[in-house]
């Protein structure tokens, strides 16, 4: 294996060995998101003999391993507690028990290992437990009771701030405190893998006010946007009134997913003062359907971003010894309705990297609980838009089509995105499909993918 920062080496173990192979041949393809070193967690809708319920699963190559079938066949009969946790319809209870995280990873990897010594009966059972991913209707892998969205990219915050406050784009608190707001869990959906394919997102209506108008109007959003984000699921919770110390952050972070935090920019512009996002955000949030565990991402942990010259160091409670940066590449692709009708492939709009974020997922969790807020297994925190230092890494159309400010301090006309059909976009049109991808790559390790997050815009009601 290649060398890694010293704080990360302690987290890398035999389950990350790039030489491991699976008897599921598609998992050995170097281009797959889901090799045996990943073992992304999912949940899916299963039908058996006239009745239906949800099962837990693990994605391996182009297949889903049905854990419910394995439990029913007695594969985990030697550990009743583990068998119970894996027979549930969601991962919340397993997430609440960090001591089982490495056990599940090790046991599942052993079952899928090409070198495993399995008898004929076990080989028959595990083969029966495989389902094609493309034909498996994936559902939300965890019950999400609460959802918090952060604003962790200094590049995104600076770009957006410059549009509205060119002389003072970054507010003075930004470098001291991870900024976030409470979102709406009831409108979170998932799509991007299995038979579920794409989530339909209806264009929201809202109150907007043009700069030259005397009064606001109500109607369909005209400036609909996506936001490329990383989500983190909470593992073990904390009691109300108790903080989460930085050195205990690991047991509270279960795994990650991709997040599209759809945004109605014209609604947001009118409503966000003085309290921030509301109807501009709560109409829909789309997640990728798999959980990539923090253990799977251990080889891709890197130091957090270096503070700029003159930047303050984080306060003591936001500092710790582990490397909590994540070297995860993220991409946004778009396919218009016309492109779809003509059989054309999506085009990539941007590529960024989560390692450029100003605040890490550990700092977000620690700050969230620092006032005694009780976090619950399955709660979701999102990073805010992932934007990097160059234009090609901007994670939303609001930034991607922005051309800076003119000599008068006002924004220049937006520069639209050009599609291969001749269409242009400054914001999303009805029929547009947004596809988000994420993956981690490093020499000496297998590529670990986060799958896809997909959503298509439908006309307003």
Using the 8-state DSSP alphabet, how is residue 359 labeled? S
Percent of the chain with pLDDT over 70: 97
Q: What is the mean pLDDT of residues 236-264?
A: 98
Q: What is the pLDDT of residue 46?
A: 85
Instruction: Tell me, letter by letter, the H, E, C secondary structure of 40-81.
Output: EEEEEEEEECCEEEEEEEEEECCEEEEHHHHHHCCCCCCCHH
Average per-residue pLDDT for the chain: 94
Q: Supply φ then ψ for residue 86, to 5 degrees.
A: -90, -5
Per-residue confidence band for 23, with pLDDT thresholds at 50, 70 and 90: very high
CA–CA distance, 426 with 321 (Å, rounded to integer): 43
Evaluate whether 102 touches 386 at the Cβ level (below 8 Å).
no
- For the stretch 309-326, pLDDT in tens is 899 999 999 999 889 999
Does the pLDDT value for residue 192 go beyond 70? no
CA–CA distance, 352 with 394 (Å, rounded to integer): 7
Cβ-Cβ contacts under 8 Å for 4 (sequence gap 6 or more): 12, 299, 301
Q: What is the pLDDT of residue 288?
A: 96
- For the stretch 24-63, pLDDT in tens is 999 999 999 999 999 999 999 988 777 788 999 999 999 9
Q: What is the pLDDT of residue 2?
A: 37
**Residue of higher predicted confidence among 4 and 195:** 195
CA–CA distance, 83 with 323 (Å, rounded to integer): 33
| Site of tokens 């959003």 | 221
- For the stretch 412-440, pLDDT in tens is 999 999 999 999 999 999 999 999 999 99
Q: What is the pLDDT of residue 52?
A: 83
Does the pLDDT value for residue 6 go beyond 60? no
Out of 65-69, 258-262, 292-296, 409-413, which region has the weakest mean confidence (pLDDT)?
A: 409-413
Q: What is the pLDDT of residue 157?
A: 96
CA–CA distance, 251 with 105 (Å, rounded to integer): 15
- For the stretch 285-298, pLDDT in tens is 999 999 999 999 99
Residues of the chain with CATH 3.90.850.10: 147-458
Q: What is the pLDDT of residue 305?
A: 85
Token pair in block for residue 132: 């094609």
Using the 8-state DSSP alphabet, how is residue 97 labeled? -
CA–CA distance, 67 with 36 (Å, rounded to integer): 16
Where does 147-458 sit in CATH, by number? Answer: 3.90.850.10
Q: What is the pLDDT of residue 411?
A: 84
- For the stretch 342-382, pLDDT in tens is 999 999 999 999 999 999 999 999 999 999 999 999 999 99
What residues act catalytically? 156
Out of 56-70, 117-131, 177-191, 366-380, which region has the weakest mean confidence (pLDDT)?
A: 117-131
Cis amide linkage into residue 274, ω under 30° from 0: yes
CA–CA distance, 58 with 60 (Å, rounded to integer): 6
Q: What is the pLDDT of residue 196?
A: 56
Pick the CATH number of 6-139 from 2.30.30.230, 3.40.50.1820, 1.10.150.120, 3.40.50.300: 2.30.30.230
Q: What is the pLDDT of residue 408?
A: 84
């Amino acid at each position: 294996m290649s060398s890694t920062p010293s704080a990360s080496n302690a987290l890398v173990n035999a389950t990350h060995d790039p030489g491991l192979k699976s008897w599921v041949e598609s998992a050995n393809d170097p281009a797959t998101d889901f090799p045996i070193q990943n073992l992304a967690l999912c949940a899916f809708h299963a039908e058996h003999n006239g009745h239906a319920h949800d099962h837990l699963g693990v994605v391996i190559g182009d297949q889903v391993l049905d854990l419910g079938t394995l439990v029913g066949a007695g594969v985990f009969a030697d550990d009743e507690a583990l068998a119970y946790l894996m027979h549930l319809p969601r991962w919340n209870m397993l997430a609440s028990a960090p001591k089982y995280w490495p056990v599940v990873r090790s046991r599942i990897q052993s079952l899928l290992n090409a070198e495993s010594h399995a008898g004929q009966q076990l080989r028959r059972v595990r083969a029966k437990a495989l389902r094609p991913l493309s034909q498996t209707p994936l559902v939300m892998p965890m019950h999400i009771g609460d959802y918090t969205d952060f604003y962790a990219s200094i590049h995104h915050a600076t770009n957006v701030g410059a549009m509205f406050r060119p002389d003072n784009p970054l507010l003075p608190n930004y470098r001291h405190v991870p900024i976030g707001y409470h979102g709406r869990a009831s409108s979170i959906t998932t799509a991007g893998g299995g038979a579920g394919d794409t989530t339909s997102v209806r264009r929201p209506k809202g109150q907007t006010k043009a700069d030259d108008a005397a009064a606001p109007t109500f109607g369909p959003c005209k400036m609909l946007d996506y936001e490329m984000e990383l989500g983190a699921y909470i593992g073990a919770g904390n009691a109300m009134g108790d903080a989460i110390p930085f050195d205990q952050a690991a047991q509270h972070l279960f795994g990650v997913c991709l997040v599209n935090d759809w945004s109605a920019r014209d609604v947001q512009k009118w409503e966000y003062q003085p309290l921030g996002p509301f109807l501009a955000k709560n109409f829909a949030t789309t997640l990728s359907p798999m959980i990539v565990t923090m253990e799977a991402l251990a080889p891709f942990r890197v130091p957090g971003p270096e503070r700029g010259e003159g930047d303050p160091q984080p306060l003591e409670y936001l500092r710790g010894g582990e490397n909590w940066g994540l070297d995860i590449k993220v991409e946004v692709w778009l396919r218009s309705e016309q492109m779809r009708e003509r059989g054309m492939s999506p085009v990539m709009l941007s590529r960024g990297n989560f390692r450029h974020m100003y605040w890490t997922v550990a700092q977000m969790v620690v700050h969230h609980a620092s006032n005694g807020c009780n976090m619950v297994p399955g709660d979701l925190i999102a990073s805010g838009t992932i934007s990097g230092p160059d234009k090609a890494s901007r994670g939303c159309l609001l930034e991607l089509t922005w051309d800076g400010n003119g000599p008068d301090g006002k924004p220049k006309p937006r520069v639209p995105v050009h599609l291969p059909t001749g269409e242009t976009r400054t914001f999303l049109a009805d029929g547009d499909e947004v596809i988000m991808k994420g993956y981690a790559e490093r020499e000496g390790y297998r590529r670990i993918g986060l799958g896809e997050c997909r959503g298509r815009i439908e006309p307003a009601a």
